[in-house]
Amino acid sequence: MVRVITYGTFDLLHYGHINLLRRAKEYGDYLIVALSTDEFNWEQKRKKCYFPYEQRKQLLEAIRYVDLVIPEESWDQKKTDIHEYHVDKFVMGDDWTGKFDFVRDEGAEVIYLPRTPEISTTSIKQDLGQNKMNV
């Protein structure tokens, strides 16, 4: 069984996220999603989520490509996750290219996938803010 892992916040779930998860699953048999906790998002990434962790987790668990959702609580856990979950492939969006190459030293192949160019959570938040101001 080939195990794949990816990481993210997955707030305001959209078709770009689904594309990433579908393509990640194509690299193996079992897809693990490490979902950033609210605390990690705020304390380390300086991001505030619209949906809390448990609701984002429920959304991900409902997606057919996702086999397991685990909490991401720190930047450093990637190395231990590779070993704990027997991960073969580490998949991230290409906006992170080069940032996680160190994972190869843990025995996993690192794959950076192109983003869906016309959509992002940031653009959705910006658009909603603009729409709100225009009302």
Q: Tell me, yes or no, if 25 is annotated catalytic.
A: no
Whole-number Cα distances in Å, 79 to 46, 103, 104, 135: 22, 6, 10, 47
Catalytic-role residue among 25, 47, 57, 79: 47
**Whole-angstrom Cα distance, residue 95 to residue 114?**
8
Catalytic-role residue among 45, 48, 79, 99: 45
Name residue 18's amino acid: I
SS3 content of the chain, % helix, strand, coil (to 5): 45, 20, 35
Question: Per DSSP, what are the bridge partners of residue 6?
Answer: 33, 91
Two structure tokens written together for 1: 């069984």
Q: Tell me, yes or no, if 47 is annotated catalytic.
A: yes
Residue positions annotated with a catalytic role: 45, 47
